Amino acid sequence: MRSLALLPPLCLLSLTLAACSAGAPAPRAAPTGAARIAAECALLTQAGTMMAAAGNAAHDGLLEGCPGSTARDTRPLARQTASLRDGGQAALPPGVARGSRGEAVFRRMITRGVPVSLAIRLTADPLFAEAAR
């Protein structure tokens, strides 16, 4: 008898779940880690090109860790530390949430030597959105 008392709530729950899932769009697959890395490396390549065009060539290690790159960050330790400090202190641009993957990508660009102003501009690039997914 007791199990019959549970029948109405269970029926209501199953109808609710069926109604919720019937009109829901199919979830979009999250990009793989490799796709995010490729997008971030393409973003760094773009940053390097933009830095060179502005007369401030990027250091050799900008693409360190990117697929196909064997470059290492050979900047003096003081410069690397300054970049790390700049990355940690930079204010987040609009649309980049604290604690998000976007914040990590933004700060990583700066610690690799991308000027803060350029990193802020690059957050509007579709490559940034792909790297931050």
- DSSP secondary structure string, 60-112? GGGGTTSTT------S-HHHHHHHHHHHHHSPPPTT--TTSHHHHHHHHHHHT
**91 lies in which domain range?**
33-132
Residue 32: predicted pLDDT? 77
pTM comes to: 0.74
Looking at residue 10, its pLDDT comes to 47
Q: Per the structure, how many domains does the chain have?
A: 1
Residue 12 counted as domain residue:
no
Say what the pLDDT of residue 3 is.
53
Confidence bin at 60 (pLDDT 50/70/90): confident
Q: What is the mean pLDDT of residues 84-107?
A: 96
Residue 4 lies in a domain: no
Question: So what's the pLDDT on residue 15?
Answer: 46
